[in-house]
Each structure stands twice: as C-alpha cells, then as structure tokens.
Amino acid sequence: MPPGTSELHQELFCNLNGEILFVTTPQNVSYVDLIRSIDFVKRLDVKILGVIDNFAYLRCESCNKTIKLYTDNTKIDLCDKINLPYLMAFEIDAEISKYASQGIPYMSFRQDSETFQSYLNLSDIVMGREGYAS
C-alpha cells in the first residue's frame, strides 16, 4: 500500500497477522517516507520482514549494462543502522508492462528472465521465514 501513517494504515497494521515488507524506490524522497513508515510500524509493534528497492536500475538494451537511475544508496545504510534486512533491489523491466498491456502473465511466460528469478528469490526469502508454511 502507499506510504502513510493514517488511521487506515493503523487499523490494517494492527490487525495484520504477518510481517511487513517495505517496497520503496532508491531516491532520497522515498527515503523520508520509508523512515516515517518504519517508525510508525515499530510503534505498532508489527514485525518487519525487510526492505526492497523497486525500480533500482535498468539494463541497456544494446549491451545489457546495468544503469542506476539514482545514485542514492541510503537504504542499505539505513537498514544497517537500524538492524533491518535490506533484502534486494528490483530492476525496471519494461517487458512486464508490455506483457501486462497484452493481458499476458509475465511470470508464466518469462521464466528465463532475471526479473522472474528476482521474484523467485524474494518468494524464497518470504517463505523461508519462521511462521510461514511452504
């Protein structure tokens, strides 16, 4: 859900049976939201699974070189400082929107992609946590 500390957030988080995974983006403006959200969730005594960066980088279509759109690297430092797992960074994969626009489920048809592998790795992390049945 979008960042926030509203009554709705409080209601949902208090009735949550599980852990929270923060999905954020690498630029500093989202860093501020993330800190605010982490403080909020910690006050509610909800477990935090970790933090992932979405849209962290993209790949050049010609040479496959990784291009970081933001040079901010504050999430990893923050997670180290407050002892929160920084789980992974997801790339911007333009193919996902191409598939979605055509109504084709990307995850079913691009299991050879790095993006698919990233989602699989995240799934393994989540399912490997204590309290989650596999």
Residues that bind Zn ion (CB under 5 A): 60, 62-63, 65
Q: Which is nearer to Zn ion, 60 or 133 (CB)?
A: 60
Q: Which is nearer to Zn ion, 67 or 107 (CB)?
A: 67
Task: Write down the least CB distance from residue 58 to Zn ion, Å.
Answer: 11
Q: Which is nearer to Zn ion, 66 or 117 (CB)?
A: 66
Task: Write down the least CB distance from residue 63 to Zn ion, Å.
Answer: 3
Task: Write down the least CB distance from residue 85 to Zn ion, Å.
Answer: 32
**Closest by alpha carbon to 78, among 38, 127, 107?**
38
